[in-house]
Amino acid sequence: MTVFHGPKAAMHLSRKLLILALLPAFLASTSVWSQPIYKVVDEDGNVTYTDQRPDEEAEPMDLPELNVLEGREMEPPITRRETGEEREPLELRFVSPQPEEHILGTGNSLTAVLESNIAIPPSALVVFYLDGQAQEPVQSMSMSFEQVDRGEHSIRAELQTPSGRVLASTESVTFYMRQASRQHPAPP
């Protein structure tokens, strides 16, 4: 047996690794099974596999039979488009206050209430903006505001992920806080 040292050893080893890496792909091809395979070892001990008969005395290799498992046929997954289901976009809107609503007799408090066309993810947060000022995020479709001054106000809301990505938002709604008076009494 010849022992190699230095660059020649590395080249010898890399040749063997290349052959070992390519052998499975070569053996897996369907045309290989119709042809005999020959193993050739040169004077330096390098092994080569070929489908060409190297000399008259060469005999084909006995290759082991491949261990092939039959797979189950699976139906392709059903997608929403195949079922005709289109995912409805998430929409938020205010139930209260209504656009241009005049709010009387509440002691300057406001309860804002949202509704959605689809179920809200349980981890989603709602951020209400009263007159452009963001309130603390809540996991509720409503929020109460105290001490809302008389006059014109705007409110809007965003549905967000815990990381702050906006999933949906409302249009800004303008409303008016009024105090009850003789001319405009509070509702009963």
CB 135 within 8 A of CB 127: yes
Q: State the residue range of the domain holding 160.
A: 92-177
What is the residue-level pLDDT of the chain in tens, covering all 188 positions? 455 555 555 555 566 666 666 666 666 654 445 578 888 888 898 988 888 888 887 788 888 877 888 878 877 776 655 555 567 788 999 999 999 999 988 888 999 999 999 888 889 999 999 999 999 999 999 999 999 999 999 999 999 999 999 999 999 999 999 876 666 555 55
Please report the pLDDT score of residue 75 as a whole number.
76
Record the pTM: 0.52
Residue 82 lies in a domain: no
Whole-number Å distance between alpha carbons of 146 and 137: 17
Residues 173 and 110 in one domain: yes
Residues 115 and 173 in one domain: yes
Please report the pLDDT score of residue 18 as a whole number.
65
Q: Please name the residue that has the structure tokens 């702050």.
A: 164
Residue 186 lies in a domain: no
Tokens at 64, concatenated: 């082991």
Residue 105 lies in a domain: yes
Residues 168 and 117 in one domain: yes
Residue 70 lies in a domain: no
Whole-number Å distance between alpha carbons of 156 and 128: 6
Whole-number Å distance between alpha carbons of 159 and 85: 24
Residue 78 lies in a domain: no
Residues 38 and 100 in one domain: no
Tell me how many domains the chain contains. Answer: 2
Tokens at 109, concatenated: 């408090």
Residue 11 lies in a domain: yes
Strands (E), 6-150: 38-41, 47-50, 92-96, 101-103, 110-116, 125-130, 133-134, 142-145
**Left (φ > 0), alpha (ψ -120 to 50) or beta: where does 43 sit?**
alpha
- Burial category of 97 from C-beta neighbours within 10 Å (exposed 0-12, middle 13-18, buried 19 and up): buried
Q: Strand pairing partners for 127?
A: 158
Please report the pLDDT score of residue 11 as a whole number.
58
Residues 97 and 44 in one domain: no
Please report the pLDDT score of residue 100 as a whole number.
95
Residues 166 and 116 in one domain: yes
Residues 99 and 173 in one domain: yes
CA angle 121, 143, 171 (to 5 degrees): 70
Please report the pLDDT score of residue 173 as a whole number.
96
CATH number at residue 132: 2.60.40.10
Please report the pLDDT score of residue 32 as a whole number.
46
Residue 142 lies in a domain: yes
Please report the pLDDT score of residue 149 as a whole number.
92
Tokens at 67, concatenated: 């261990």
Please report the pLDDT score of residue 50 as a whole number.
87
Residue 60 lies in a domain: no
| SS3 (DSSP) at 27 | helix
